[in-house]
Structure 1
C-alpha cells in the first residue's frame, strides 16, 4: 500500500504557479473564500481537529454562508489572506471523537446522521442533532456514538459509503473485505438510548487480496456496489446474487487503486483513481475487449498520486473532478474527449491534457479531499495539508450542504458545513467557463454594446 500523505517531494513544489493563479482569481472565479486551518485534514465533508496529546480529538460542525452567483466583485474575490480565517465560516457544534477520523459520510435519507471511520474495526454512527455540544478540554471523555457497526476483522480506514436509496452503510478495511449494514430498524431510536447499541452486518463480501481502499453504492440500488483496493482490482458486487464478486476487473490500474465513484446520472459510468497518477473512465457494460480491461479514457493530468476519489459533478453528467498529491484540483469533461471528433482534433493541438475543463491551483500543498456542493451549482470545497507545518497526520473533514434545513441569508443560502481547522477553500468558478459558448458570446456582445 502506498501510504496516504506520502508522495514525491518534487511534485509538492509549494509556490509553482501559485502567484500566477492568485493574480487570475478575478477572471476564473465567481466566488472564492480561504479559511486558514490549524490542523491537517484527510477529508472534505467534515474536519476532525488534530491533537497534540493535551486536547481531545474533536469533530466540529460549522455553517458557511455561500454567496449568490455574481454578487462578489473582482476586488473582493482577489483580496484574501492565506493566514486568516474566513468570515463566511462560523462554528456551530463540537463533538469529542473517540480517536482520529479517517472518513465521514452522511446518510442521504436523514443527513444529520453520519458515519465515521477511526483506527478500529468498527464504524461509528452519530446523530448530530441529538448529540450535545462539548468543550474539548484536557481529560474530557469522548462523545458516545449513537450506534456502533461491527463486523470487520481488522481496522477500517478510508472505504466508507452511504446508500442513496436506503439506509445502508458499506465499509471496506484491512481485512480485505467489504461489510454491509442496514440501519433501518435503528434510525428512529438514534440518540434516544443511554448506551451505544451495536449492529451486526447484513453481509460480508470477500474478493480482494489486499486492503480495500474505497467503496461506492450504485446510485439506484442498495444491493449493487463496487470496490477498489491495493490489489489493483475493481470489483462489482450484487448482494442479491450472494457474497461473491459479480465482475472482477484485474489490473484495472498499474498501481494501488485508492478511489472510485459511480455516476448518479449515467449509472453505466464509473471512475477510478490510482497511485499511477491517472483517472480511468469505465463503462460497466463493456469493460473488457478480448479479456483485457479497456477504459473509455485514461485521464492523465496529475503529477503525483491520486488518493481521494474523483467525484462526478452533480450539475453536469459528463463533468468530474480529481485531486491529489500534486496540489492541483482538475475538473474534466469526458465529452470533450469521447464526445466528438472535432474536440479530439483540437485537443491534440493543445498543451493541456485532453478533457481538462478547469484547473484550481489555489493550494500550495497536497490536496487531501474536496467535495461538490450538492445544493449550490458549481460550488466546491477543497482542503490541503501543509506537510511542513506538522507531522501529526491527523484526519479531518468538511461538508457543504445537506445536513440541516437551509435558511435564506443576505449573502445567499446559509448552508451547513461540517468543518474543522487547516487550509480550506470554498469556491465557485465563473459561469462564463461552463456556460454554452453561444450564450457566453451573446453576453459578451451585450456587455460591449452597453459600454460603447
Structure 2
C-alpha cells in the first residue's frame, strides 16, 4: 500500500474527467520532455538510525506493550486508508518501497489526461531489468497556450528494479543493471488543441523486415479527431540521426463529423487495417474505416441512442461487429455495426450517475467492467442481458456479478489484466490507482482477521497513490507492469501481482 509521511505539501481537490489541470512547475534545468524523479534517494542517512530491540533501557514488558499497541492500529478504527482517510495539515503520502518491485515517476511540462502503451519488438512476457517501454500521450496545456499542445511519443528505458536491503536474491538472474538511471526520449507532434483521449493501433507489416504501422487516434477539445502515423517517430528512437520531417508530423486524416468534443475512442482489435469508433458529448457515435488505399472513410450515419454524452467505447474482443458504449445517462449499451437502424441491441441502466469508463475482458469475453461517477465499479455478465421485444432495452438495473463502492470519488479509468481475467486495475478521482483480485474469497478464519478494517474489501490487492489519477494501463508485454497518469506519470510493478 502506501505510508504517510509528515511533509509539507498542498493536496489538490480531485478533478473530473474533462477538466484541465494547471501547468506544473518545471525546474529550469530539466529538458522540455520531462524528467524522472528518485523518491527514495537518501531516505536513510545511516545505519545508526536503526535501533535494535532492547537497547533503549526500558523494561521488556513496557516495550512489548507499546509494540503490541502499534500493531493493533492496523486492524482498529484508526487505520489509515489511502484515498479515504484525510491527511492532516502538513502531511502528504510517500510510497512504501517494500511493496513495489519497480517504481518510477515522471514529471511533464504539461499534465496529460490520457495515454496509451505501444507494443514493441522486444518480446512478450519479459521480466528482465532494466525495462524498456514505449508510450504515446497528449498534453493539456493552459487554455492561453493552446499552441503548446502536442502528441508526445516516448521511449522509457533504464527502468530498474527497486533496491533491496533485505538480503534477498533476485528471481531474475538475467538482470543487466538493476541500478541503471532511467532515460526518457521523446518526439513531439504539434497539436493546436488539448487531448481528451488518445488510443494507439498497430497494423502488421506485410514485409517481415519492417516494423508494424502504428497509428494513433486523438480526440481533442476542438471536436476534431486526428489520426497520425507515429511509426517514423518510434523508429527514430533506435536509429540515431534520424530526423522527423514536417510531413511526418501531419495527420493522415482528420475526422470532422463531431459537432462537440468527446472522450470516447477505440480501435477494433479484430480489424488489423484500422477500424475506429469515436463518441461525443452530443451522444453520437461514428465509425471510421481505413480503405484498401490507405485512406479513412467516416460513415456519416451516427449510432444514436444515448440521451447524454458518450464517455467511453469498447469494441468486443471476440466479435468484429459488436461494441459497447458508456454514457453519462447512466447506461451501458451494446451495438451491432451491421444494424441498419443504428440503434443499440441492448440497453442497461447500470448506474444512477454518469458511467465514465468500461473495459471488456480479453480472456472471458462475456465479462464487462464499468466505473461510475459515484465511485462504484462493477462487473457484468453480458449473457444475463436480454433485449426486450421493443427497442432492445430492459427496464431497471441488472444485477452485477461483482461490485465495489470503495473509492470515494469518480472512477476515471478501468482495465482488465491482459492475461488474467480475475485482476482489474482502477483509477479514481480520490488520487488512487487500485488493483483488485476478483478470485479472492475469505474463509471464516481469515474474515475474523480482517473484521477490524472497515469497508476494505478482501479483493483489494494494492493501493497506489496517484495525484489527480486519470488513466491506467497494463503493459501487454511486461507482466504486472502498469503505467498511470495524473499530475505526473507513474510506471510501477508491485510485488502482489
Q: TM-score, normalised by structure 1?
A: 0.71
Q: Which residue of 1 aligns with 2:115?
A: 44
Asked which structure has the greater RCO (Cα within 8 Å, sep 6+), the reply is: 1
1:216 partner SS: strand
Q: Deviations over 1:411-451 (max 9, x none)?
A: xxxxxxxxxxxx11111111xx24xxxxxxxxxxxxxxxxx
TM superposition shift of 1:35: 1.4
Q: Which residue of 1 aligns with 2:491?
A: 426
TM superposition shift of 1:186: 4.5
Q: Distance in 1 between matches of 2:89 and 2:248?
A: 42
Q: Distance in 2 between matches of 1:164 and 1:204?
A: 21
Q: TM-score, normalised by structure 2?
A: 0.65
1:53 aligns with 2:145: yes
Distance 1:335 1:11, change over 3 A: closer
Distance 1:262 1:20, change over 3 A: same
1:293 partner SS: coil
Query: How many residue pairs end up in the alignment?
Result: 360
User: 5 Å matches for 1:39-438?
Assistant: 39-45=110-116, 46-49=136-139, 50=141, 53=145, 56-65=148-157, 67=159, 71-74=161-164, 87-109=181-203, 110=212, 112-130=214-232, 143-152=249-258, 154-166=259-271, 167-187=274-294, 199-201=297-299, 204-242=302-340, 243-250=342-349, 252-287=350-385, 292-307=397-412, 309-336=413-440, 349=451, 351=453, 352-361=456-465, 363=466, 365-385=467-487, 423-430=488-495, 433-434=496-497
Point out the structure with max Rg over C-alpha. 2
Q: Distance in 2 between matches of 1:301 and 1:259?
A: 16
Q: Deviations over 1:133-190 (max 9, x none)?
A: 679xxxx9994211123433x2232100011110210111022111112114254xxx
Q: Which residue of 2 aligns with 1:31?
A: 102
Q: Which moved more, 1:37-46 or 1:343-352?
A: 343-352
Q: Which runs of 5+ in 2 are unaligned?
A: 1-14, 22-82, 117-135, 167-179, 204-211, 234-241, 387-393
Q: Distance in 2 between matches of 1:287 and 1:299?
A: 20
Distance 1:87 1:112, change over 3 A: farther
- Kept in 2, the 8 Å contact 1:159–1:212? The answer is yes
Q: Distance in 2 between matches of 1:20 and 1:217?
A: 37
TM superposition shift of 1:87: 4.3
Distance 1:40 1:310, change over 3 A: same
Distance 1:290 1:43, change over 3 A: closer
Q: Deviations over 1:198-251 (max 9, x none)?
A: 63227521110001010000012221000011111110111233311110002x
Distance 1:321 1:66, change over 3 A: farther
1:331 partner SS: strand
Q: Which residue of 2 aligns with 1:443?
A: none
Distance 1:74 1:369, change over 3 A: same
Distance 1:350 1:105, change over 3 A: farther
Q: Distance in 2 between matches of 1:429 and 1:17?
A: 28
Q: Distance in 1 between matches of 2:89 and 2:100?
A: 20
Q: Deviations over 1:265-317 (max 9, x none)?
A: 0011101111111101100011479954111121121111112x310011311
Aligned-pair Cα RMSD in Å: 3.5
Distance 1:218 1:3, change over 3 A: closer
2:263 partner SS: strand
TM superposition shift of 1:382: 1.2
- Kept in 1, the 8 Å contact 2:266–2:278? The answer is yes
Q: Distance in 1 between matches of 2:321 and 2:90?
A: 45
- Kept in 2, the 8 Å contact 1:299–1:354? The answer is no
Distance 1:358 1:2, change over 3 A: closer
Distance 1:198 1:376, change over 3 A: closer
Q: Which residue of 2 aligns with 1:419?
A: none
Q: Distance in 2 between matches of 1:305 and 1:160?
A: 20
- Kept in 2, the 8 Å contact 1:336–1:344? The answer is no
1:277 partner SS: coil
2:330 partner SS: coil
Q: Which residue of 2 aligns with 1:414?
A: none
